Structure 1
Amino acid sequence: MPVRHIRHTLLALSLAVALLFLAPGSSPAHAPPLSNATLPLFTGEGKARTAALLSGGRFARTGTAIRRADRFRAGSVTKTLLATVVLQLAAAHRLSLSDPVERHLPGLIRGHGNDGRALTLRSLLTHTSGLRDFAADTRGRVPLTPRQAIRVALTHSPSPPGRFAYSNTNYVVLGMVIEEVTGHSYAEEAERRVIRPLRLTGTSFPGSRTTLPAPHGTSYTAGGREVTEVDPRVAGAAGELVSTLDDLNRFYAALLGGDLLPPAQLRAMLDTTATDGTYGMGIDAVTLPCGTTVWGHDGRITGSYVRVAATRDGHHVLTYRTDSDALVAPSTERALLTAEFCPNGSTP
């Protein structure tokens, strides 16, 4: 689930960071490591039990609560992978981003002013459809089938179409579109099109499985309650993914490097015109004080928070996670990204 409610102080938690630097000619010795001055930004004013760093293939940490190979729930980072599948299908002319939802899922979106005949796949990808976020009602705690999630959303009138309004419902609908177009579930298509080709061996769609694959650590709520076992159907196609630090780095590097989408579809994914520069299709854009824009996504689901940020060419990727759904303040996260991607300071 996305970052929407921010805690400005952190309870004790564990945190891991993955950093991939793939600039031409770079090597681990020349990769720009986070300095000792930067590490406190990860630790919630020193309260975290563990900090870990992967720089140019190296992994360093304090404490042992998080291991490099651990599987964890990636939450809404799932949306980038799902959008990649939809855009691959568009490139293959299996669907068009201008298709109304009604063309693929007739009669599904109706009621309280919601109308699938007026909503395009593009509007779902960019969160400009106006569909209500079902998770605003369930708070990410109730396992639902896709149709049940949509029924929850359709009990509400839509927000004004054309405006950016983040909604997990959009991606639940896209998961159903993928299945309708291909005859396979979104998980099967993502496995075939992305996970296997990139050899993302720690990445999976667990479906209704509540346990995490081994190896994994323990996850906690912001209040400290242990919640390692979670039914992924609380998020479904909007946030079901399980992954690792290395796999998320590899995925975003490949995506932004042009290995997964033709140029036209990658340009479409990174077009933020519809959202005033903040969100493309399954990927967000953050412009830092030095003028650098980083691309990626965050993900929050019970017991986990993840953030991925990368340069436009995919040569420099930072992934970090906590084993708690307690969150850093936006200002702290921004300071972290600035320290990493603006090595010469924050002035453009």
Structure 2
Amino acid sequence: MKVAAVRLALAGALATPAVANEDAIKAAWLDWLGAGGIGQSALAITYQGAVVSVHGSGMSADRPVPIASLSKAVTGACVLSLIDDSILSYDTTLGEAFSDRPDLLPAGQSEQAAITVEALLTHTSGLDFDRTQSVINPVLWGGGDIDDRITALALARPLGAPVFFYNNENYAILGRVIAEATGQPVADVCRARVLDGLTSAGPDPRNGGALAWGGWNMTVVDYARFATRLTPQKDWPSTPLNGGAQYGPGVFVRDTDLGTNIWHFGAFCVLGLNDFGSYFYVLDNGWGVAVWYDVCVSTAQALALDGGLARAASSSD
């Protein structure tokens, strides 16, 4: 009986801060929605790898939503899985990956042929102009896989310096690399390898052609579950950024005294025709969130969301 009583006391002591943080995160999210006049949003909160609550504002939180650039974390995890199985390596070059695809990498493109999987994962390939940002391209994104088209166009251009330049084309090319290495569509490969059990996950009806870099669709709950599976490793490829952050395989990373924080934003902002945003983090204290909202927000608003939710997650540690 004494042992049971001690266990109950410990459980109560541990539950109080967890509940406090959960409430603080929800409150910070609602404050942010109110400040921005945002009509529809969904939030999933995780703690120590488990979903602890789900909330919708102006919409059902069970509705699958397009996640934009949060898709890059799916592609990154998928590539890591293929590396673990020795199907790819960080040093795999595009010359090797596309040896049977002269339509993607014609002879004479030696610089492009030398781009590695690691450089694509960390946006250090030298691709310094992002053609996907054109407002013309979204009319194509709802069709089939357009990684071939984006890859061929990107690799036909001269390269810039091999420094960090955030570019959707890097991940479009990775989508093509995955397909060539496995002989299967990237959706099938990544769903089986890193999205197993997440039944809502699939190509977005409107943006699914951009799957590898911005085209997955799923509920915030399933994305939050996926995010808790990401376990940063010291040998992850990364490139240093300002403020102590790094960019790794589809995520921003910051090492801390307690562990590692990972996060990413996503957004489509197309003249009011296809505007929405998404965000996730998993913090070193065990808290995580996945958020979706139905507007294109400013940089200041995005930073306010990031800061507000991060402070809330640490409010009673």
The count of aligned residue pairs is 283
The TM-score with structure 2 as length reference comes to 0.76
Letter in 1 for 2:132: A
Give the C-alpha shift of residue 101 in structure 1: 0.9
The answer to whether the 8 A contact 1:98-1:120 is kept is yes
1:79 lines up with 2:72 in the alignment: yes
Closer/same/farther in 2, CA of residues 60 and 300 from structure 1, 3 Å limit: closer
The aligned runs of 1:62-77 (5 Å cut-off) are 65-77=58-70
The aligned runs of 1:77-226 (5 Å cut-off) are 77-106=70-99, 107=102, 108-109=104-105, 115-131=111-127, 132-138=129-135, 140-143=137-140, 145-154=146-155, 156-161=157-162, 163-196=163-196, 199-206=197-204, 210=205
The TM-score with structure 1 as length reference comes to 0.70
Match for 1:47 among 20, 37, 43?
Answer: 37
CA distance in structure 2 between the aligned counterparts of 1:142 and 1:292, rounded to whole angstroms: 42
- Corresponding position of 2:314: 342
Report % sequence identity.
23
> What secondary structure does 2:170 align onto?
helix
More helix by share: 2
CA distance in structure 2 between the aligned counterparts of 1:91 and 1:72, rounded to whole angstroms: 30
CA distance in structure 2 between the aligned counterparts of 1:312 and 1:182, rounded to whole angstroms: 34
- Corresponding position of 2:3: none
Give the C-alpha shift of residue 42 in structure 1: 1.9
Letter in 2 for 1:129: S
Closer/same/farther in 2, CA of residues 324 and 287 from structure 1, 3 Å limit: farther
Q: Gaps spanning 5+ residues in structure 2: where? A: 1-10, 46-50, 269-273
- Corresponding position of 1:296: 263
> What secondary structure does 1:43 align onto?
helix
- Corresponding position of 1:262: none
- 1:284-319 deviation per Cα after TM superposition (whole angstroms, max 9, x unaligned): 12589x998520222113332100001247x32111
> What secondary structure does 1:160 align onto?
coil
Match for 1:325 among 255, 276, 296?
Answer: 296
Closer/same/farther in 2, CA of residues 37 and 68 from structure 1, 3 Å limit: closer
Closer/same/farther in 2, CA of residues 60 and 92 from structure 1, 3 Å limit: closer
- 1:247-287 deviation per Cα after TM superposition (whole angstroms, max 9, x unaligned): 1111111222x8xxxxxxx4333x53455632111111258
Give the C-alpha shift of residue 180 in structure 1: 1.3
Give the C-alpha shift of residue 76 in structure 1: 1.1
The answer to whether the 8 A contact 2:67-2:214 is kept is yes
Letter in 2 for 1:157: P
CA distance in structure 1 between the aligned counterparts of 2:254 and 2:37, rounded to whole angstroms: 27
Question: Could you say what the CA RMSD is over the residues aligned between the two structures, in angstroms?
Answer: 3.3
The answer to whether the 8 A contact 1:127-1:166 is kept is yes
